[in-house]
Amino acid sequence: MDADLGGANLHTCLGLPQPRLGLGDFIERRIERLEEAYAPTGVERLLLVSGAADPLDVANPKHQQKMRLLRAVQSLDQDYVLLDIGSGTNFNVLDFFLVADHGILTLVPEPTSVENAYRFLKAAFYRRLRAVENVYGLAETLADLGRQPAGAVHGPRVLLDAARQRDPALGELLEREMRRFRPRLVVNMARTAGDAEVGDAVVAAWRKYFGLEMDYLGCIGFDDDVWRSVRARRPLLMEYPEGRTASAIAAIAGRLLEIDRRTRSPEEGVAG
C-alpha cells in the first residue's frame, strides 16, 4: 500500500502504469471497500493499493477520513499488509506508522539522518501517548511537562518519573505502554563496516536517553543494482535475486518474522 500521500510512486518501481483506482477513491468515497482498489502487480501473491492518481488535497485527509482508512487497512483479509509511508513527523505519517504491528524505521549512516530518526521516534511515541492519554489519565501530566522551562528534558523517562510520583498505578500503566512501543530499525546504504555499526549505536542511545527499546533488524549496503532496478522499473528482488542487497533484505525479513513468531500467538493475524 503506497501510503506516501502526495508522493506515491510504488507503481513505477513495479513497472506498472498508473492504477485506475487508489487510496484517494476510498478516502473520497468513490469506492466503499479498499479491496476495490487492488491492482495486480504481475508478481505472484502481491497486490498494490496505489495513491498515485490522488489529487493534492488527499495528501491531507480529514480526521474522520483518515480513521476510516486506518480501520479499513486493519480489517484487510491478507497475510501481510506493507505500508510505504512518507517522511516527516506530520500526524498522517505518524498514525500510519503506529497502526502497523511492526513500525520499521530506515536511516542512512549520516548525522542528519540519525538526528531525524530520533526526532521521528520521539514524535511517534508522544503521538501514541496522546491516543491513550484519556484512558490512562496522562493529559494533565503531559501538559505539565510541556510547561517546563526551555531546555528541560522532556523524554519518556521524565514522563514516567512524573507519572510514578503522581500515581504508582499510573506509572505502571505508562511503563507497560512504553514497553509496547518498540520500533524496528534498518540502516540503508552502508559503505563501511563502521556504517553497519550505526544501528547498534542508535539502539543503545535510544535505550540510554529515552529508556525505550528498539530492535535492529540489519544493514543494507550501498549497491548500484538498486538504482539500476529503479531505472529498469523492475523490483530489485526480481531483477537481481542473487545480489547482495537481495540477501540483506532476506536476512532482515527473517529477523522480523522471528520477532513476530516470538511475540504473537498462531491464531493472530499480522500486518507490517
Non-local (6+) Cβ contacts of 210 within 8 A are: 121, 122, 125, 155, 156, 157
Locus of grid cell 482508512: 69
Summarised one tens digit per residue, pLDDT across range 230-253 is 999 999 999 999 999 999 999 999
Please give the grid coordinates belonging to residue 256.
522480523
Domains of the chain and any CATH numbers: 1-94 (3.40.50.300)
Non-local (6+) Cβ contacts of 159 within 8 A are: 129, 138, 141, 142, 145, 174
Q: Which of 138 and 194 is assigned the larger pLDDT?
A: 194
Summarised one tens digit per residue, pLDDT across range 30-75 is 999 999 999 999 999 999 999 866 565 677 888 899 999 999 999 9
Least confident range of 78-87, 89-98, 154-163, 165-174:
154-163
Summarised one tens digit per residue, pLDDT across range 164-199 is 887 788 788 888 888 889 999 999 999 999 999 999
Locus of grid cell 499480522: 270
